Amino acid sequence: MYNAPYNNQFRRCDKRNTVKTSTKLQDQTWYVLGVGAIGCLWAAHLGLAGHKVKLILKSCRRLKQFQLSSEIKLSQQSEEFSIPAEAELANDKTSVIRYLLVCTKSPDALQAIQSIAHRLDQSSRLILLLNGLGAQQAVAEAFPNIPLICATTTDGAYLRSPFHVTHAGVGETHFGLISHQDEKETIYSELKSTFRCLGLVAHWDNNIYPRLCNKLMVNAVINPLTAIYNCNNGEILKSADRLSLIEELCIEIESVMDKLCPDHTSNLFAKVQKIAHATAGNYSSMHQDIAAGRLTEIDYINGYLCQQAKELSIATPLNLKLIEKIKALSP
């Protein structure tokens, strides 16, 4: 059985104390690996809270591009912010990284972290803010001596240009340990003091796994269907045939999750419709990947589901068909 989760929202700092608190945090350096929309969003808010932020970039071209301004731009609620930051390549430094936030694509996560493995030790705090499942387990196996914190978010963001992020939809981010549970209280205390002054809503979950599964379940429906139909989230609900497919797909997904994660959310069909309506004008990350000619995260969403289903001897023909169609559209 899974432990019942407890949710602790990191208390927000009083704005009158922001400057004072920021001064105390100047000795904390946060490294961000993966500077897509979510990576830039978190880097920007960490910087605004007074943390020193360093981006780890994968190429000299990206580094030179960033150094033209050496800042992250954030647009939200009709406001514009320019947040100073630093950047470096993975092999540039040897100093130990204490706080590392990983926001890469799931297929890239393990290799990206391995590129800076020489800078990680038991004191490092490794936070994975990824889509899907599978990459987290691979990282945990590769780095058994480092506490691994996983996160999932409903914040919406997109890049206007490199290192310029728009916070398009206010959501919540949940964090929780998936290894080194004996250090839970210490790490929670650290993150509470770190995140309480962010302009983002953050919670600590004692048992993060059901939340990761809930996010995967929704993504396993909306992401591939928007990519296949070449539409935004709302348009997958526009016909009776599509709704019928979504309902059948939800039943298939729930049949797997009932065994894999009994604490998962109920009534997936209703939840998918609610989220698709609420984000009707948005385009899923998988749709964007296909449109841009990039590899998708299908292996870590529907692929992970099918892999687990196979081990449980549960048939998943609809999910397998979706995987086949997405891979036919991928480069």
Dump the DSSP string for 250-312: HHHHHHHHHHH-TTSPS-HHHHHHHHHHHTTT---HHHHHHHTT---SGGGTHHHHHHHHHHT
Which position among 54, 215, 310, 321 bears the catalytic label?
215
Residue 90 structure tokens: 């993975």
The radius of gyration of the chain from alpha carbons, rounded to an integer in Å, stands at: 20
Which residues, other chains included, contact 144 with Cβ-Cβ below 8 Å and sequence gap of 6+?
179
How far is residue 51's CA from residue 98's CA, in Å, rounded to a whole number?
13
Q: Amino acid identity, residue 142?
A: A
Helix (H) or strand (E) holding 109: helix 109-114
HSE (CB half, 13 Å, CA atoms) of 110?
13
How far is residue 84's CA from residue 86's CA, in Å, rounded to a whole number?
7
Which residues, other chains included, contact 85 with Cβ-Cβ below 8 Å and sequence gap of 6+?
43, 47, 53, 54, 55, 70, 71, 72
Contact 256, 312 (CB under 8 A): yes
Q: What residues are paired with 152 via a beta bridge?
A: 174
How far is residue 62's CA from residue 87's CA, in Å, rounded to a whole number?
9
Residue 213: C-alpha distances to residues 135, 195, 264 (Å): 13, 24, 7
Contact 256, 315 (CB under 8 A): no
Is residue 310 annotated as part of the catalytic site, yes or no? no
Contact 174, 81 (CB under 8 A): no
- Residues annotated as catalytic (active site), given as ranges: 215
